[in-house]
Amino acid sequence: MKRVQLFATCLGDLAFPDAVSDAAMLLRSAGFEVDFPERQICCGQPAFNAGHRAAARRVARTFVKAFSREAPIVTPSGSCATMVTHYLPELVGVEPFEIWELSAFLEHEGARMALVNDGIEVSYHDSCHMLRELDIHDAPRRLLEASGATVRELPRPDLCCGFGGTFSVRQPEISLAMADDKLTGTAPVLVTSDPGCLMHLRGRSEALGGSRRDMPAVVHLATALARGVRA
């Protein structure tokens, strides 16, 4: 049987374990055996993007120790997939890994989606790394449509949500203003493929009153595809 290694990411492991379970389920439904290398922790991105290379390297080494090169690595995070693809090898001094963001992998493997979102309108937020550095735009949308959803494009799909790692706490006012822009003009459900964007947008939506105040539910793509956006 074909195998993949699942990279939960630190945020996935700690704050969105359901989304990680959903990712594992999708991969199994697509016919893969899913390994979870126990020694994984984090790819080092939070420190790397803040300019702390030595700290990033220390943590990134745990990734190298945890994952083998025997099977592709799949992760429910566009930003972590970017980090491992473009920056980690040079940072630690190792050969590149075969790592895939979840939706890109599922589409590449021709995975069939269950009709869990039939008749539901969603919007999709493109995380910056996934969009610009991995060039993944269509896959998540096609998968959502295959699950029965109608995708309503955001008014400004190109704009960053305002998370940006430490940016979210260094420049909180601007970060919040950017989140508010993203939460305007969306369908009642907003789907994203990145735990960072998810934490920030859901956090803002809830703080602004959540569904009581017509703020969207913010859902990870893995959950949307595995159990439906209403899950």
Site residues (CB under 8 A) for other proteins?
8, 10, 12-18, 20-21, 36, 38-39, 41-42, 44, 47, 49-56, 58-59, 61-62, 128-129, 132-133, 156, 158-160, 162-172, 174-179, 181, 199-200, 202-204, 206-207
User: How far apart are the C-alpha atoms of 227 and 231, rounded to whole Å?
Assistant: 6
Residue 18 φ/ψ, nearest 5 degrees: -60, -40
Supply the minimum distance, in Å, between the C-beta of residue 201 and other proteins. 9
At its nearest, how many Å lie between other proteins and the CB of residue 160? 4
Tell me how far, at minimum, the Cβ of 82 lies from other proteins, in Å. Answer: 10
Least distance from C-beta 39 to other proteins, angstroms? Answer: 6
Would you say 120 or 202 has its CB closer to other proteins?
202
Closest CA to 218 of 183, 180, 175: 183
Which C-beta is closer to other proteins: that of 150 or that of 171? 171
Instruction: Evaluate whether 215 touches 189 at the Cβ level (below 8 Å).
Output: no
Q: Select 140 or 162, whichever has its Cβ closest to other proteins.
A: 162
Question: How far, in whole angstroms, is CA 143 from its chain's centroid?
Answer: 14
Looking at beta carbons only, is 72 or 165 nearer to other proteins? 165
Question: What is the CA 195 to chain-centroid distance, rounded?
Answer: 5
Minimum distance from residue 179 beta carbon to other proteins (Å): 8
CB nearer other proteins, residue 13 or residue 145: 13
Query: Minimal CA–CA distance to 161: which of 178, 185, 183?
Result: 178
d(CA 152, CA 190): 10
Maximum pairwise Cα distance, the chain: 50
